[in-house]
Amino acid sequence: MPELPEVETTRRGIAPHIEGARIKRVVVRESRLRWPVPPRLRELLQGEHIVRVARRAKYLLLATPSGTLIIHLGMSGSLRLVDSALPPGKHDHLDLIFDHAALRFHDPRRFGAILWTEDPVENHPLLRELGPEPLSGSFDGERLCQRARNRTGPVKSLIMDGRVVVGVGNIYASESLFLAGIHPLRSCGRISGRRYQHLAGAIKEVLAAAVAAGGTTLRDFVREDGKPGYFAQRLRVYGREGKPCPVCGTPIKKRRISQRSTFYCGQCQR
């Protein structure tokens, strides 16, 4: 589910409600997520207050004075702000209960994660090797070009590699390549520097537009208030197999590239 725009949408939704708020209680109903929820999380968080809600790649970082709660939404996770009296539903695995509301973590597939660290969060093993933020100045065509050297394999895999650039998942990879006019199967080494600049620009453009629309809801992504994101209506190729390319009308193709469905226009993308 959630790629960078969905995680950023969630961050923006919850931050104003929980920054500065004190955690009254922690309820863990299911600790078997991607990794076990830390057994001592209740004691660690009880009475702490949230200093800041940040995001790195697809990780949400809830900073407290004693450490940082790291939340990943996996494929099917979402966070909602609810009345703490609202009875939990199926797959509502964890609540952080504040005075005025509860932050509720919901994740049917349990690929998500909730972790705790007391070290500087950027040193955490999961965050340490990550590439630049796509919407920051440290990501550009030159970086893509550099990381494409000595690399074989399709360009789609390059832009989905978190060590190259973070936040680009399966939907936005297809969308960015369409916008840049590059075929997803094109080999990394067979793309000019100029085209890599276009691609970097396309990634920024697509992600920024998706953030502005509140993310993409395909089936189960919801924002903190339970509403969907509206970028699905603006997808040009993803999920549109057989439908006309919005630019040239040629039917959109679908292929599997390293086990992931990939959508593109065989006419516009070379």
Partner DNA sequence: ACAGTAACCTGTTTGC
Partner DNA sequence: TGCAAACAGGTTACTG
**Which residue number, 58 or 104, has a Cβ lying nearer to DNA?**
58
Q: Indicate the residue among 170 and 267 with the shorter CB distance to DNA.
A: 170
The residues, any chain, with a CB within 8 Å of residue 223's CB and separated by 6 or more, are 9, 10, 13, 214, 215, 229
**Cβ neighbours of 85 (radius 10 Å):** 6
What is the nearest approach in angstroms of DNA to the Cβ of residue 122? 14
State which residue, 245 or 257, has the beta carbon closest to DNA. Answer: 257
- The amino acid that residue 222 corresponds to is V
The catalytic site residues sit at: 2-3, 58, 260
Which pairing describes strands 113-117 and 260-264: parallel, antiparallel, or unpaired? Answer: unpaired
Question: Where would I find the beta strands (DSSP E) of 75-198?
Answer: 78-82, 92-97, 102-106, 113-117
Q: Between residues 58 and 236, which has the closer beta carbon with respect to DNA?
A: 58
What is the closest distance, in whole angstroms, from the C-beta atom of residue 180 to DNA in the complex?
A: 18
In angstroms, give the least distance from the CB of 246 to DNA.
Answer: 19
Which amino acid is it at 204? K
For 41, phi then psi, to 5°, come to: -55, -40
Binding stretches for DNA (CB under 7 A): 1-3, 6, 32, 34, 57-58, 72, 74-76, 90-91, 108-111, 126, 150-154, 157, 162, 169-171, 215-221, 258-261
> Least distance to DNA from the beta carbon of 51, Å?
23
Give the helix/strand (H/E) hosting 45: helix 41-45
